[in-house]
Amino acid sequence: MTAMLLSEAEKTFILHGVEDNFRVDGRGRGDVRPMVLETGVVSHASGSCHLRLANTDILVGVKAELETPLPGAPDCGRVEFFVDCSANATPSFEGRGGESLATAISGVLSRAYSNKEVLDLSKLVVLAGQTCWILYVDILVLEVGGNLCDAVSIAVKAALVSTRVPKVTVTAVDGGEPEIEVCDSVGPEGYTRLDLSKAPILVTLARIGNHCIVDTSPEEETCSSASLLVAVTPKGEMATVRKVGGGSFHPATLLSATKMAVTVGTELNRVLMVKLDQEEKMGEDREKIGFL
């Protein structure tokens, strides 16, 4: 993504604010901006979520389809991530400008959800070696206002939590192939939910000066020479760690950064699940804002 053009005086002002633990918008180094999240906004999807974090706007849709499992994993389903960076999100996404960023985000999400401890893909199998559920997670970046990876990961987890996988029954036929019947009931008896109790969310720590901050604004991202992407589970365990950028981290800074990531990630996971539980209790009749 193209960095914002800032003068040296603006960069110095941001740097001094981070050093004093008083950022430009009044937040501390470990504070996250307010966000608005809503699930079930796409009616034809198996699960969906719309999230707005400051000026960052994300829409996620999940589609469950029956297909053949991979030969190397006949007893597992699959989760595939596709990221589409809209040209309206930022001028740098015009043409093929957002392809590299989209590939990087989908790769990080794939690694974060590839662990069996995070998501048990064996529960998506209908007939071992023949049929399984594949979850296609489509992520649309509508607007970029900083901290894109974290916003995408939160929206993806919320969409997967709200995903309804239809129940299926397998009927054995004498001398023929088994028949699979998909339940068409719209009530709770017609679908199952995924167990996302151990699913992580990404926390990006940007190094500015000798300190790291979370939930960076576009101006702060311009002042950062290196970032650390940490996938944090609800129990405070790190599932994935990746460094981004050409800068480096001092060992002491790296240690404090990972501790901050665990603290922030654990709290974000807790607040997210509380929000999703509230929506679930409100039921289908709750008022939906949508994304238009």
pLDDT in tens, 199-208: 999 999 999 9
pLDDT tens-digit profile of 143-162? 889 899 999 999 999 999 99
Strands (E), the chain: 35-39, 47-53, 56-67, 78-85, 125-127, 131-143, 164-166, 168-171, 179-182, 191-193, 201-208, 211-214, 226-232, 238-244
Least confident of 54-58, 145-149, 286-290: 286-290
The pLDDT of residue 140 is 93
What's the confidence (pLDDT) of residue 173?
Answer: 66
* Per-residue pLDDT at 261: 95
Query: What percent of the chain clears pLDDT 90, i.e. is strictly above it?
Result: 48
- The pLDDT score that the predictor gives to residue 230 is 92
Coil vs helix vs strand at 198: coil
Q: Output the pLDDT for position 219.
A: 93
Q: Per residue in 157-196, is it b (16+ CB within 10 Å) or e — as a string?
A: bbbbbbbbbbeeeeeeeeeeeeeeeeeeeeeeeebbebeb
Confidence of residue 121 (pLDDT cuts 50, 70, 90): confident
Q: Tokens at residue 121, please?
A: 């893909």
Q: What is the pLDDT of residue 291?
A: 62
CB 154 within 8 A of CB 37: yes
pLDDT score at 95: 67
| pLDDT tens sequence across 64-90 | 999 998 888 888 899 999 998 887 777
| 284 vs 82 pLDDT, higher one | 82
Write the pLDDT tens digit of every residue in 224-265. Answer: 989 999 999 999 998 888 888 888 888 888 889 999 999 999
Mean per-residue pLDDT of the chain:
88
Residue 156: the pLDDT is 96
Predicted confidence (pLDDT) at residue 115 exceeds the cutoff of 90: no
168-210 tens-digit pLDDT: 888 876 667 778 888 877 677 788 899 998 999 999 999 998 8
Q: Which pLDDT score, from 0 to 100, does residue 135 have?
A: 94
| CB-CB neighbours of 66 under 10 Å | 16
d(CA 136, CA 138): 6
Helix 251-282 crosses helix 148-161 at what angle (to 10 degrees)? Answer: 40
